[in-house]
Amino acid sequence: MKMNNLSFKGGTHIKDYKDLSAEKATERMEDPKIVHIPLDQHIGSVCEPLVQVNDVVKIGQKIGSSSASLSSDVHSSVSGVVTAIEEMYTTDGSLSKCITIETDGLNEVDESIKPIENFKSLSFEEKCDLIKGAGIIGMGGAGFPLHSKLQSAVGANIDSVILNGAECEPYLNSDYRVMLEKTVNIVEGLQIIKEMLNAEAGYIAIEDNKPKAIDAFNEIADNYNNVTVASLVTKFPQGDSTRIVNAVTGRRIPSGGRTSNVQCTVTNVGTVNALYELVSEGKPVYERIVSVTGQGVKEPKNLMVKVGTSVKDVIEYCGGFNDNANKVLSGGPMTGNTIFDLDAPITKSTTGIVVLTEDLEDTRLESPCIKCSRCIDVCPQFLMPNIINAAVNKEKYDLADEHGANDCIECGSCSYICPAKRKLTESIALARKEIKLRKK
């Protein structure tokens, strides 16, 4: 089945620069000499190390785990020797405990990795245990453990499972490549989730700037029961789960609500590929596709990268920086963050490394609001960013709360569109933090 031209109210059109790497097939990066694997690559409890310095480990061996239900296990991405377990900076600027492994070049794979032939006959909880044990988390950048998402959805009468292939962030192509290169895996993974949740309908939602991906799914969708390819109008932030549910089903998630409140669940296409690889091969998540792109890197590529590889190694593999490179981002320019330590490791939720250049930087200074209301027009949450910004500037956080600051998804659309270059998103993010602190 096909659905076309789906959209949501608000949002903005952004120059996406996806052509820098979109048609470059995923290339496997050679293993680095050393990896640093963080024990907290997910939302939830930090894993405890299961190995010690001098232990020999294999590819796919579990090296970190937590008994907390909201957590996700961590695996070695290489074979080699553990040389350190210590804190280091990650791409979001926080300190994380990491397991450092020097590779031995033997590429020995852990014996535990084998297909799960009886998966269908297992109970829901047994399946969730396997998913947690394989370290499957939201690979679109969110990092939410998949088993926890399924557990919270199971009692909610989910009727629609939506796979998120929107990838609306400029520059990034990791979801696009996985959709082109693992098309069948993704539809098979969708069937697994539909069965686990006893959901009737499955959708693969893709922005219409990826016609090859839409065609690839349309070619096989009719081979499956109740799978619809939903083509979305290209508009930011179409990939946000609230927007995608609204575009695909017409349902509106209430303020502060979840997708399960409207009988939907949304999962990234890369995550579902990982689920299929777990069932069909027994493979845990220890590598992923990363778009290494932007005008500041010499040879933009889509790379299959081992988790724990440093940002520096990844950029060097792509020919290094161009002379005018001035900023390195983890993720895209709208919702990603600036990396200040290039030794920081790639994690399971690193969608891309984007290197920007001086000429692209908007150096205009903030000026007074001209009351054009463009920020209101683009806000997908129907907020008034200009009013919240004015309240924040007067430190009236209660007023910012009354105007719905907490509903902001920090998509950046208002700041992007503002002709006065007002730092709207940053100020609303500050309001959200203040409101949270005051409610404690």
243 binds ligand SF4 (CB under 6 A): no
Cis, peptide link before residue 237, omega less than 30° from 0: yes
| Angle, vertex CA 396, rays to CA 394 and CA 400, nearest 5 | 115
381 binds ligand SF4 (CB under 6 A): yes
425 binds ligand SF4 (CB under 6 A): yes
Binder of ligand SF4 out of 51, 130, 303, 408 (CB under 6 A): 408
Pairing of strands 56-57, 80-89: antiparallel
Q: What is the distance between the alpha carbons of residues 21 and 19, in angstroms, rounded to a whole number?
A: 5
> In this structure, what token pair is assigned to residue 382?
């129907």
Q: How far is the CB of 406 from ligand SF4 (least distance, A)?
A: 10
Q: How far is the CB of 333 from ligand SF4 (least distance, A)?
A: 14
252 binds ligand SF4 (CB under 6 A): no
Q: What is the distance between the alpha carbons of residues 147 and 72, in angstroms, rounded to a whole number?
A: 9
> In this structure, what token pair is assigned to residue 77?
């991405």
Q: How far is the CB of 424 from ligand SF4 (least distance, A)?
A: 6
> 159, 199 in Cβ contact below 8 A?
yes
413 binds ligand SF4 (CB under 6 A): yes
Binder of ligand SF4 out of 270, 284, 294, 385 (CB under 6 A): 385
412 binds ligand SF4 (CB under 6 A): yes
Nearer to ligand SF4, 304 or 390 (CB): 390
Q: How far is the CB of 404 from ligand SF4 (least distance, A)?
A: 9
Nearer to ligand SF4, 99 or 409 (CB): 409
Q: What is the largest CA-CA distance in the chain?
A: 64
Binder of ligand SF4 out of 277, 428, 431, 432 (CB under 6 A): 428
Nearer to ligand SF4, 107 or 373 (CB): 373
Residue 26 has φ and ψ, to the nearest 5°, of -65, 130
Binder of ligand SF4 out of 414, 427, 431, 432 (CB under 6 A): 414
Nearer to ligand SF4, 159 or 410 (CB): 410
Question: Order of strands, edge to edge, in the sheet holding 48-49?
Answer: 48-49, 62-65, 74-75
> 409, 237 in Cβ contact below 8 A?
yes
Residue 288 has φ and ψ, to the nearest 5°, of -160, 165
Q: Is the dihedral of CA 98, 99, 102, 105 positive or negative?
A: negative
Q: How far is the CB of 339 from ligand SF4 (least distance, A)?
A: 22
Binder of ligand SF4 out of 206, 383, 400, 431 (CB under 6 A): 383
193 binds ligand SF4 (CB under 6 A): no
Q: What is the distance between the alpha carbons of residues 91 and 290, in angstroms, rounded to a whole number?
A: 14
Q: What is the distance between the alpha carbons of residues 241 and 249, in angstroms, rounded to a whole number?
A: 12
335 binds ligand SF4 (CB under 6 A): no
Q: What is the distance between the alpha carbons of residues 144 and 146, in angstroms, rounded to a whole number?
A: 6
Buried b (16+ CB within 10 A) or exposed e, 207-221: bbbbeebbebbbeeb
410 binds ligand SF4 (CB under 6 A): yes
Nearer to ligand SF4, 283 or 422 (CB): 422
Q: Please identify, among the stretches 117-125, 209-217, 251-259, 408-416, the one whose residues bind ligand SF4 according to the rule CB under 6 A.
A: 408-416
Binder of ligand SF4 out of 51, 230, 334, 411 (CB under 6 A): 411
Nearer to ligand SF4, 38 or 331 (CB): 331
Q: Mask 351-380, x = binds ligand SF4 (CB under 6 A)?
A: ------------------xxxxxxx--xxx
3-state secondary structure of 319: coil
Nearer to ligand SF4, 356 or 383 (CB): 383
433 binds ligand SF4 (CB under 6 A): no
398's CB contacts (< 8 A; 6+ apart) are none
Nearer to ligand SF4, 324 or 367 (CB): 367
Nearer to ligand SF4, 38 or 385 (CB): 385
288 binds ligand SF4 (CB under 6 A): no
Binder of ligand SF4 out of 98, 305, 409, 431 (CB under 6 A): 409
Binder of ligand SF4 out of 85, 116, 420, 430 (CB under 6 A): 420
The DSSP-derived string for 139-193 is TTTT--BHHHHHHHHTTTT--EEEEEE---STT--HHHHHHHHSHHHHHHHHHHH
Q: How far is the CB of 421 from ligand SF4 (least distance, A)?
A: 8
| Angle, vertex CA 346, rays to CA 342 and CA 352, nearest 5 | 90
117's CB contacts (< 8 A; 6+ apart) are none
419 binds ligand SF4 (CB under 6 A): yes
Name the site residues for ligand SF4 (rule: CB under 6 A): 369-375, 378-381, 383, 385-386, 408-414, 417-420, 422, 424-425, 428
